[in-house]
Structure 1
Amino acid sequence: MSTRSFSRGAAAPTLKDLARLAGVSPITASRALHRPELVAESTRLRVQSAAEQSGYVPNSLAGGLTSRQTRLVAAIVPTIGHSLFSDMVGALITALAEARYETTLGISSYDVEHEETWLAAMLSRRPDGVVLTGTEHTMRTRRLLLSADIPVVELWDYIPHPMDAAVGFSQEEAGRAAFHHLRACGYKRPAILRADDSRAQRRAQGFLRAAAELQAPEPVQVVFPEQRPQLGRGREALTALRAKCDHADAVFCSSDALAQGVLAHAHALGLNVPQQLGVMGFGDQALAVDCVPALSTVRIDGANIGRLGAQDLIARMRGGQPEPARDVGFAVIARASTALKS
């Protein structure tokens, strides 16, 4: 098999490029992709390997376009079950529509392998731009995007050197700020209750690092699968924490929804919040202020992230070069659920 490297700025690999890389004719390469039963298994595997190596994506719109522009944007989010992501997506789609771009939306369910499969299918439709949530992707996803050579914006997570452009905030710093808030409120042994997704994990790492920096006891963690139904999560998490560490005096939850469940179960157990247990969420969702007591949390402006992401993507699709990375920050919102202990 011959070799060829692909990088951003080079033309997307064609069927002829793929055939040359696999050491077969273009018609054989096409058959291996579209009618694999007509070629030997060894040939199919060679062509498949070449496609993965080069980032080649079959063009399902071949012959149907009179220009390269499709005015289509492909965007994927982990879920729309959280208002943070739905606010972000709503603002993104609205801003793109105002610029006459249509958006096709995918749901990854926090699975980078599914994101990869979705992306390959979307690139075959030749979108003008791609929006991803987060900065963690498979190597093949990165190769596909480099080979496609179209604008890409990663939302939600901030990193100084993104794949192309990024708009978001530091998950680690949000976790550090949460720990400092709980310590300032007088809590000595705050714990972490979180889902097992990578963003919640990075917030936990920031929380743990802040504890180490202050030479505080290492916070206990209770981790559960993100796919677990929302119903009963707070009860199960608090029950697991009390069995594991009955001296924890505060909890930092990976979402406001989880924190609300913890509050409800704390009330059922007769625990005084915030005196016996401080409760802090993440996201500042609509019901946070209506909890009893009102929920302390970390506020993220998802709608602003969506708007800025759309602006940067539109600028890139029109040939501009806005800043590659924007840190929109976050805010710690102190409410009664972590009121200063007397």
Structure 2
Amino acid sequence: MPNRSTRSSAAPTLKDLARLAGVSPITASRALHRPELVAEATRARVVQAVEQSGYVPNSLAGGLTSRQTRLVAAIVPSVGHSLFSDMLSALITTLAAQRYETTLGISSYEVEHEETWLAAMLSRRPDGVVLTGTEHTARTRRLLLNADIPVVELWDYMPHPLDVAIGFCQEDAGRAAFRHLRACGYRRPAIVRSDDSRAQRRAQGFLRAAAEADAPEPAQIVFSEQSPQAGRGRKVLDALRAEAPQADAVFCSSDALAQGVLAHAHALGLQVPQQLGVLGFGDQALAADCIPPLSTVRVDGAQIGRLGAEALMARMRGAAVAAAQDVGFEIIARASTSLGAPPAS
């Protein structure tokens, strides 16, 4: 599948914006940069024209002698999860080796925050943009289309991305998680997860796998990603035991959450894995050191970041690359889901 062109004249200009708003270019510029000098009705027409056209002001206008800035704009949901930090570190390191600087944004799992950040970043005319995930607002998509620069979406795999997507199928990871717990002998596995869309898609795969196996529909406990991290494991396990006391295993949306569940299970006197199997997601550094060691779904975040940087640099050179790359995932089976394991001491 061919990628979009690296640069073109497709992006709307100030003259285009002025024509759409029915004002002169000078007035349009003043409405954007010195709004106090322009009548309110005129400002409103210019703002509406910006929304319609996707025009992005060039904060570097007049200061560049080349169209290249050697700047890459990248955004992640959080730097608190090691998977995203591993991905980001590999991305930045690979780009820096070719003298590209990366400016970073954090969306806090909100697509509206991503949209605001992107509008600000595009005014600096980056050579490329890196997004995390494939879910964006309509305006974000319009801004990227009008900017007409290379875009790489990391973490999620999809066959028809904006430009290039590198990641894995969230639904397949959830389906594999259910099948692992089922194969370990658990009859009523449940899900505890955040309201992040990626965790939601993994849950959808988990539920589909249960339906395919003609198993009871798994219970779900969902918490807000914006809620405090402290105590999450305790709260979700208490909620699960109250709402679905028959649940004998749990698939957690992150290893950090799974570690909290393990700790609270110990405090309650529950034997893991005999009375409760626990499966995490991410294979973070401490997963193997939990008591018992944590079974999890491993995703190579560093590989995703490196491949993303390489694809973006190829696109910035004008080369065509594969539109979508699926790096896959791996179930790491440890004692927290092994019914044959001895009780944890």
Coarse TM-score class (shorter-chain normalised): over 0.9
Q: Which ranges of structure 2 fall in alignment gaps of 5 or more residues?
A: 1-6
Q: TM-score w.r.t. structure 2 length?
A: 0.95
2:251 maps to what in 1? Answer: 252
Q: For the Cα contact (< 8 Å) 1:185–1:341, is it kept in 2?
A: no
1:127-163 CA distance string (max 9 Å, x none): 0000000000111111111111100000000000000
1:180-236 CA distance string (max 9 Å, x none): 000001101111000111000000010011111111111110001101122111011
Report the alpha carbon displacement of residue 49 of structure 1 after superposing the two structures with TM. Answer: 1.4
Q: Within the alignment, does 1:281 sit opposite 2:272 as a pair?
A: no
RMSD over aligned Cα, in angstroms?
A: 1.1
Q: For the Cα contact (< 8 Å) 1:301–1:330, is it kept in 2?
A: yes
1:273-324 CA distance string (max 9 Å, x none): 0010000000000000000111000000000000000000000001101101
How far apart are the structure 1 equivalents of 2:272 and 2:67?
A: 59
Which residue type is aligned with residue 175 of structure 1? G
1:50-80 CA distance string (max 9 Å, x none): 1112111111101100010000000000000
Report the alpha carbon displacement of residue 9 of structure 1 after superposing the two structures with TM. Answer: 5.0
How far apart are the structure 2 equivalents of 1:25 and 1:320?
A: 38
SS at match of 2:286: helix
1:198 maps to what in 2? Answer: 197
* Runs of 4 or more above 6 Å deviation: none
Q: TM-score w.r.t. structure 1 length?
A: 0.96
Q: Which ranges of structure 1 fall in alignment gaps of 5 or more residues?
A: 1-7
Question: Quick one: structure 1 residues 166 and 282, their matched pair in 2 at CA, closer, same or farther if it must change by over 3 Å?
Answer: same
1:3 maps to what in 2? Answer: none
1:51 maps to what in 2? Answer: 50
- Report percent identity of matched pairs: 81
Report the alpha carbon displacement of residue 261 of structure 1 after superposing the two structures with TM. Answer: 0.4
Q: For the Cα contact (< 8 Å) 1:186–1:341, is it kept in 2?
A: no
Equivalent residues in 2 for 1:187-336, closer than 5 Å: 187-336=186-335
How far apart are the structure 1 equivalents of 2:199 and 2:45?
A: 39
How far apart are the structure 2 equivalents of 1:225 and 1:265?
A: 19
2:148 maps to what in 1? Answer: 149
SS at match of 1:286: coil
Which residue type is aligned with residue 46 of structure 2? V
Q: Within the alignment, does 1:174 sit opposite 2:192 as a pair?
A: no
